[in-house]
């Protein structure tokens, strides 16, 4: 059992929880995720780590209550427990494996949208703690659903916020901000984008034109987090990959986003899942990715 130490709502349907999970916090790195189960009857919920504290032994998660399980999780309060909290899972962010001195010479840009803003924070924080500057662009439909503004401001050199309706700071999409920065003479070595599929698609279309290397996190399409459900199957270049066992981060310029978006819609129905399984055959799922027995 894992205790909920703190809980707060970030907007009307998005909440943050700090969970006591010392073994996870001891080993996790930015970019990884956990799998949570509320109780013995609950479904598996993969959630990207939004922060961690090794000394306190805690993990922070940010959840949008959009389905039965996440809504049920939102009903729990400080002092309550969740049954399972497994992790860390997935590959750490690519830059955590690079030489620190090399990173200090790079200009890094993060682009986040929706709840995808939260997992940007541990990455930007890791860079900040290692003396590396980064810029962050955050997009939201309106000011009232914006999250993690103060957190990101504390770990970034520049924070640019844009809203679809113009209710806060800039008006427009995150791609508009990228274009504005480039028109102002700003240049970057790498972009890391996390958010809705459509947002990541158009960020990648733009950054490809700008010849800007772009990494995207495909955690939004994960369902069970083990590679067995087949939901997070993606085409990366000429290879079939699975976000949960091969990622969740990939080269955004190699991903067929149109296929991912179309496939995600089909997967929502039972008939759609059956059709995908029939069409994709042995490549429909990736197995657990651990034992090798599925290869």
pTM score, two decimals?
0.85
pLDDT (tens digit per residue) in 20-31: 999 999 999 999
pLDDT (tens digit per residue) in 258-290: 877 877 665 556 665 565 665 656 666 666 554
Residue 33 has pLDDT above 50, yes or no: yes
Average pLDDT over residues 78-89: 91
Percent of the chain scoring above 90 in pLDDT: 53
Element (H, E) at 252: none
Measured torsion, CA atoms of residues 196, 268, 35, 77, in degrees rounded to the nearest 10: 80
Selected residue with higher pLDDT from 47 and 287? 47
CB 259 within 8 A of CB 225: no
Q: How far apart are the C-alpha atoms of 250 and 214, rounded to whole Å? A: 9
Fold of 2-85: Elongation Factor Tu (Ef-tu); domain 3 (2.40.30)
Domain boundaries, the chain: 2-85, 99-217, 221-246+262-295
> 181: buried, middle or exposed (CB in 10 Å: 19+, 13-18, 0-12)?
middle
Average pLDDT over residues 65-87: 90
pLDDT (tens digit per residue) in 199-208: 999 999 999 9
CA angle 253, 242, 214 (to 5 degrees): 20
Q: How far apart are the C-alpha atoms of 174 and 153, rounded to whole Å? A: 17
Look up residue 68 and give its two tokens: 């039965």
pLDDT (tens digit per residue) in 219-230: 877 766 666 666
Q: Give the chain's radius of gyration (CA, Å).
A: 19
Q: Of 20, 4, 22, 17, which is closest to residue 62 (Cα–Cα)?
A: 17
DSSP class of 255: B
Residue 109 has pLDDT above 80, yes or no: yes
- The per-residue pLDDT of the chain, averaged, comes to 86
pLDDT (tens digit per residue) in 142-151: 999 999 999 9
- Classified as helix, coil or strand, 207 is helix
Please, how many CA atoms are within 13 Å of residue 100, restricted to the half-sphere of its CB?
7
Average pLDDT over residues 233-241: 80
Please, how many CA atoms are within 13 Å of residue 238, restricted to the half-sphere of its CB?
0
CB 215 within 8 A of CB 251: yes
pLDDT (tens digit per residue) in 149-200: 999 999 999 999 999 898 988 899 999 999 999 999 999 999 999 998 899 9
Q: Band of the pLDDT at 16, cuts 50, 70, 90?
A: very high
Residue with tokens 């997070």: 232
Q: Quick one: pLDDT at residue 292?
A: 46
Residue 284's contacts (CB-CB under 8 Å, 6 or more residues apart) are 230, 233, 276, 277
Sign for the CA dihedral angle at 87, 153, 162, 249 comes to negative
Sign for the CA dihedral angle at 114, 118, 123, 129 comes to positive
Residue with tokens 């439909």: 141
Q: How far apart are the C-alpha atoms of 273 and 116, rounded to whole Å? A: 26
Average pLDDT over residues 122-142: 94
Domains 2-85 and 99-217 share a fold: no
Residue 183's contacts (CB-CB under 8 Å, 6 or more residues apart) are none
Q: How far apart are the C-alpha atoms of 111 and 200, rounded to whole Å? A: 9
DSSP class of 42: P
**Domain 99-217 is of which CATH architecture?**
3-Layer(aba) Sandwich (3.40)
């Amino acid at each position: 059992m894992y205790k909920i130490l703190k809980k707060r709502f970030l907007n009307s349907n998005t909440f943050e929880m700090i969970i006591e999970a010392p073994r996870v916090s001891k080993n996790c790195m930015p970019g990884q995720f956990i799998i949570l189960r509320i109780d013995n009857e609950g479904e598996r919920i993969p959630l990207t780590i939004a922060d961690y504290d090794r000394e306190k032994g805690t993990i922070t998660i940010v959840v949008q209550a959009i389905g039965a399980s996440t809504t049920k999780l939102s009903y729990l309060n400080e002092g309550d427990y969740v049954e399972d909290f497994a992790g860390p899972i997935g590959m750490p962010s690519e830059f955590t494996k690079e030489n620190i001195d090399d990173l200090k010479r790079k200009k890094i840009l993060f682009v986040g949208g929706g709840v995808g803003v939260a997992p940007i924070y541990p990455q930007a924080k890791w860079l900040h703690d290692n003396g590396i500057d980064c810029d962050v662009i955050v997009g939201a439909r309106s000011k009232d659903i914006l999250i993690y503004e103060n957190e990101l401001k504390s770990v970034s050199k520049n924070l640019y916020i844009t809203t679809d309706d113009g209710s806060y700071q800039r008006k427009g999409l995150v791609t508009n901000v990228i274009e504005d920065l480039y028109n102002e003479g700003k240049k970057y070595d790498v972009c890391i984008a996390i958010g809705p599929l459509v947002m990541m698609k158009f960020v990648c279309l733009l950054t490809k034109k700008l010849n800007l290397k772009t990494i995207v996190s495909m955690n939004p399409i994960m369902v069970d987090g083990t590679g067995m459900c087949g939901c997070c199957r993606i085409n990366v270049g000429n290879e079939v990959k699975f976000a949960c066992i091969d990622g969740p981060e990939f080269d955004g310029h190699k991903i067929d986003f149109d296929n991912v978006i179309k496939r995600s819609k089909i997967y929502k129905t039972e008939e759609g899942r059956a059709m995908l399984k029939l069409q994709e055959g042995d490549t429909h799922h990736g197995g657990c990715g651990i034992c090798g027995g599925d290869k």
